[in-house]
Each structure stands twice: as C-alpha cells, then as structure tokens.
Amino acid sequence: MFQTLKTGLRFTIFWMLFFSFFRVVFFFFILNDTGTFSAHDLPSALLNGLCLDISATGYLMVIPVVLYCLFQFFPSAVIKNIFRGYNFLLITVCSILLSSNLFVYRSWGTLINFRALSFISDPSAITASVSNFELFGSLSILAVIIFIFYRLSEKMITPAFVTNRTKTVRMIFSVIVLLAINVIMIRGGLQMLPVNESIATFSSNQQLNHIAINPVWHLGHNLNQVKSEQGKMFQFYDNQFAENKVNALYETSENLIEVVKNNRPNVIIIMIESYTADVIASLGGVKGVAPNFEKLIHDGVLFRRVFSSGARTDQAFVSVLSGFPAQPDKSVMRYPDKTAHLPSLSNDLKKQGYFTSFYYGGDLDFSNLNSYLNNCGFQKIISKSDFKKSQLGAKWGAHDEYVLNRQLNDLNAMKQPFFSMLMTLSSHEPFDVPVQTPFKGKSLNEKYKASAWYTDQCIGKYFEEAKKQPWYANTLYVIVADHGCREPKGRSYYSHHIRHIPLLITGGALKDIYRGTVVDYTGSQHDIAATLLRQLQLNDSAFVWSNNLLNRNRHNFAYLCMDDAIGWVTDSCSFVYEFEPQKFIYKRPYTAIPDTVTAKSYVQQLYQHFLKL
C-alpha cells in the first residue's frame, strides 16, 4: 500500500513543480507589463494557486492511475511504455498550453480559453504577431523545457511504476485508496461542492488572481462550460425582462445632427490597426505620435468618447460594417453561416447604386475574413496577394503606405458614388515599419509608438493627395481604430481606457460649419453603421445594435466585451463586472452605483441573438 501511495505522491509532486515553474514564468513575464505588483507578491500567488494545481493534477492523473492499477494485476512492458508515452504527451501538451497562455494574456488580458484555442486553427495569425527571432527563440526554449521535464519525470515517476509485491486483497485495497485520493484531488477536497476559481482569488489586483489560477484547469473548465451551457451561457434574467431593458436603451425619438452636405456622398472608412486614443493628443494621449491626425481633427467631427466593443480585428470588422457588437467567448466572423444573416453597410449601399471595394494588405484567410467580405457583397477586394514582394513587411503583409496609395489610385477610376473600406496593419505587433522614426527605443512601448507614427505619416500623405482629386469634394471619410492597445500608457486590461479609440468624420462632403466640432456622447464602434445610414437618409432598422451617434436624443452608453466579465461606460460612470465571482474589477468613480442589470441584460440578449443567427 505504501508503495502505491508513494507512486501517487511522486506523480503529484512532479506536476506541482511543473505548474509552479510556469507560474513563476508567468509572474515575471507580465511583471513589467503591468507595474501593479512586485516580486514580493510571488509567494502569495504560488501559495494560493496550490489548490487548483492539485485539482488539475488530479485530472491529469486519471489515465496514469488506471494504467498503474492495470499494471498491478497484469504486469507488462507494454502498459509501462504506454504510461511513459502518455506522460510525455501530457508534458508536451501542457507546456504548449502554458506557454501559449503567456502570449494570450499579454494580448487579451485573459487566461487561455475556448476563444483563444480556436485561433490555433489559424497559426499564421499567431506567428505574425512576433518576430522570427522571437518565434524561433520561444520554440527553442519550449523544446528545452519539455525535454527537461520529461527527463525529470523519468527519474521521479517512471521508477515508481512498479508492481506491489503484496497479497491480492491488500493490492485491491491500495488501488481503491489511490482511486479515492484521485477523486478527492479532482474535487479539491472533501467539501460539499467541488473547487472553483474563487479558491485562487486572494487579491484586489486581478492580475495576481490570474497568476494564481491554473491555466490548464481554467481551460478545461471553460471548455466544459461551453459544451454544457450552450444556449444557457450569459443567461441572467427572464428573456422578456432582459429584452425590455435592452429595448429601453434604443427607444428614442430622432433629433438628427445633419453634418453631410448631401445624402449621396462617396463614403470611405479607414480602420486603423490598434490605434488607441492614447496616441491622440486631443484625446488625452501622448503628444507627437499622430500629428497628422491632429490636423484632420481641426477639419472634421471628432467623437471624444467612443470605445471598441471588442479587442480583436475580427470583432471590429463586424462591429463597423454590420453594427454587431463583439460577443464573449465567440467571434461571429468565424461562422460564415451566421455572418450571412447579418446586415452590412456595403450591401445596403450597393443597393443604393454604390460601387463597393475593400483594401487590406494582409491575408484574407485571417479569421474567415474572405468569407465575411463576400457575405458583405464587396465588388472589389484587394489584399496581400495584390502587392509586390518588395512592398510586404516581414509578418502581416503590405505596409500601410502601399495599401493607401493603391486605394487612392483606384478611386480615381472608380464609378461614383463609391463605398470603400481600408484596413491598415503596420501598427500591429511586432510593429514592423520600413522607415526611421523619432522613436528609437527597443521596448514594446517605443516600437508601438514608432509604428503608430509611421501610420500617421502615411495617412497624412494620403490626405494631401486625396484633397487634390475631383471626387474629394463629395466624399465623406470615417476614420476609426479597430481596437485599442495597452501601449503606450500600460493600460490595465480591465479599464475602459484600453478600449478608448479615436473616431473622426471628415472629408469634402462635410458641412463647413461642423469642421472642428467635438461630440462628447459616449458611444461604441458599432454605432457607426446607424450613424452613417441616417446621414444618408437611409433606413437603419436592420442594424438593431447600432445607436446613431449624431442623434441628440440618443441614450449614451458603450458596451465592452470581455470573456469573463462585462464592461459598461456611460457619460457619468464606467465599470467592469466579473461574472464569477460576481464582483467589480473596475469602477469609476468609486462612489458610482453601476447599472449591472442593464449591462448583464445587454450581453444576455446579444448572445441569444448570436445563437439565433
């Protein structure tokens, strides 16, 4: 019996060391990024993570325990080799997941989950965010880690995989005890309910709590939720009650601010990659990064309190073109059968006689983008394959200057009225730009500012040329970011500031009286669709989630999508509310009384809409 318990103990100690190692790596990986905790917090994170580590180890032990039990009655080299192979597989898979978690957290601010796992089907989108040197270095380090831990397992666990030379009755008893211990480990103890993530929550700093949570356990829990709660996720209230709450946000009379000279201008949307409000001086951002955007502000209508509902480009495309907010745990663009049922600006304008085109220097296979654009009815699509090799960056595709120039040249020969959308990419990690910039540092912060400055220079030159073209006088531009960025101010993932983005309407078709105007209504990126359509005197009823930003009577609010929480911003309050364990992660001002009922009703109805598409 003691030999059996010794085997289980060795297995447990090995995996506790394994998880602790990656927790230490995770801790120091994000330590400098956040600046909200110090090395003194490491012991607390390790200690509070033990319970979920034990539970995760219990799950990993299930098959090894079964193999060990079989081995006691049927000693065989085959069973032992299966055990060794399975152990190697566990170490490899868990090492990959825990390493991936580092980059998922840095990019999204969440532990690895179902949505992150779905992007493994598109590895090019993952590797494009890092340099070749970083990619090779990371894979090399990962291989070394796997090798070291496998060798350690061969010394710690495999030698204990032996038969018990005891009587059959004792052997059966020891096997039963081992199985019972395994079940207790999975449950996290003998308490009434199985362990959950609350056991690792020990700090008011959410990053420290995330460090304490075992990512492998978290992923398994998340996958189980997605499978078992399909259709029930984000179900907080009676559907009719939630529907009434959401309808109240949109029920208002129209008092339109008409900023366009006529109702059939050419329309161009320029969506800028990762262009946070923190690089726009007029929005409280760092000075000197976007001087050309500042010039355009004086010639347009600036929306000062607009936020992206999502944190990824695939979410932004659907938000801007279809007026459909980002969904937690899912990306609707990955479901072509669902996007086919969404409205789109391009389809609506094509019905009005507009010629529609789309420009992007990247790969159209990214997140089913090609399928979505075709569902949107674009008549001309330009992408990475349409540019020369010399115009491409090392990772994502054609540099911004070449994409902007291509669109500009094509517009001169395009049938009017036209609707054209352009997506930049140079300000995406790894911030690969082809010119020298004023920002020379090697830090992520400096590299981001350099890429944002480069994109701004490209946009400045673009508008210098565009204003010389005959079609410009009847053209309305909408310039918006796809989402924000932690840089350059090191924003918290759970702050509304990281979703704060610039939105500017400019162009020759804008009434002169509104040039230099600032609109302070709190709104979302997905409000653009209704705003544009109403300026063109077109029906926006199909865009049920889009809230006209130029309606004086609108209800001002912004929804922020997060996988494990919901963010909500109004003119007077902002908060982030975590679904489990039902608490506020962020709230400003501290004395505010947030309307969580409306916020939760919103995400409930949105998710139901997603399921019904």
Give the pLDDT confidence of 159-173 residue by residue, as tens digits.
767 766 565 667 777
Check residue 522 and report its DSSP letter.
E
Cα separation, 209 vs 218, whole angstroms: 12
Cβ contact 387:406 at 8 Å:
yes
Contact 395, 430 (CB under 8 A): yes
pLDDT attached to residue 122: 62
In the predicted model, is pLDDT for residue 447 greater than 70?
A: yes
Closest to 344 in 3D by CA, of 526, 610, 609? 526
Angle between helical axes of 215-228 and 50-73 (0-180°, round to 10) = 80
Q: Are 259 and 270 in contact (CB under 8 A)?
A: no
Q: Work out the number of other CB atoms within 10 angstroms of the CB of residue 47.
A: 12
Task: Please give the C-alpha separations between residue 398 and each of 221, 317, 358, 431, 535, in angstroms, as whole numbers.
Answer: 40, 19, 14, 13, 33
191 HSE (CA, 13 A, CB side): 10
pLDDT at residue 380 tops 70 = yes
* Residues 272 and 455: beta-carbon distance below 8 Å: yes
Q: What confidence tier does 135 reach under pLDDT thresholds 50, 70, 90? A: confident
Average pLDDT for the chain: 90
CATH number for 268-562: choose from 3.40.50.10880, 1.25.40.10, 3.40.640.10, 3.40.720.10: 3.40.720.10
Cα 175 from chain centroid?
Answer: 45
| Sheet of 500-506, strand order | 380-382, 355-360, 418-423, 266-272, 475-481, 500-506, 301-307, 517-524
pLDDT for 83 equals 87
Amino acid at 281: A
**CB contact burial 327-358 (16+ within 10 A = b; e otherwise):** bbbbbbbbbeebbeebbbbbbbbbeeebbbbb
Say which range, 90-104, 112-126, 366-380, 460-474, has the weakest mean pLDDT: 112-126
pLDDT of residue 37: 81
Phi/psi region, residue 436 (left: phi>0; alpha: psi -120 to 50; beta: rest), is beta
Split at pLDDT 50, 70, 90, the class of 107 is confident
> pTM for the whole thing?
0.83
Which of these, 440, 432, 406, lies nearest to 420 by C-alpha position?
Answer: 406
* CA distance linking residue 475 with residue 536, whole number of Å: 12
Q: In degrees to the nearest 10, what's the CA dihedral of 345, 347, 348, 352? A: 120
Which residues neighbour 229 within 8 Å (Cβ) at sequence distance 6 or greater?
none
Q: Determine contact, residues 54/217, Cβ cutoff 8 Å.
A: no
Rounded to 10 deg, the angle between the 2-34 and 168-187 helix axes is 20
DSSP 533-559: HHHTT---TT-TT---TTBTTPPPEEE
Closest CA to 397 of 382, 384, 388, 407: 384
Where in the chain are the domains? 2-228, 268-562
Q: Are 544 and 602 contacting, i.e. CB atoms less than 8 angstroms apart?
A: no
Give the per-residue pLDDT at 117: 77
**Model confidence at 542: pLDDT above 90:** yes
Q: Give the per-residue pLDDT at 231.
A: 57
One-letter amino acid at 362 equals G
> Would you say 258 and 438 are in contact if contact means Cβ atoms under 8 Å apart?
no
Summarize pLDDT for 206-241 with one digit per residue, the tens.
Answer: 788 889 999 999 888 878 766 655 656 789 999 999
Determine the Cα–Cα distance for residues 206 and 377; give it in Å rounded to an integer: 43
* pLDDT tens-place string over residues 549-603: 999 999 999 999 988 889 999 999 999 998 877 889 888 988 888 899 999 999 9
Strand, coil or helix: what is 198?
Answer: helix
Distance between CA atoms of 307 and 32, rounded to whole angstroms? 26
Distance, in Å, from the CA atom of 502 to the CA atom of 305, rounded to the nearest integer, reads: 8
- pLDDT at position 77: 85
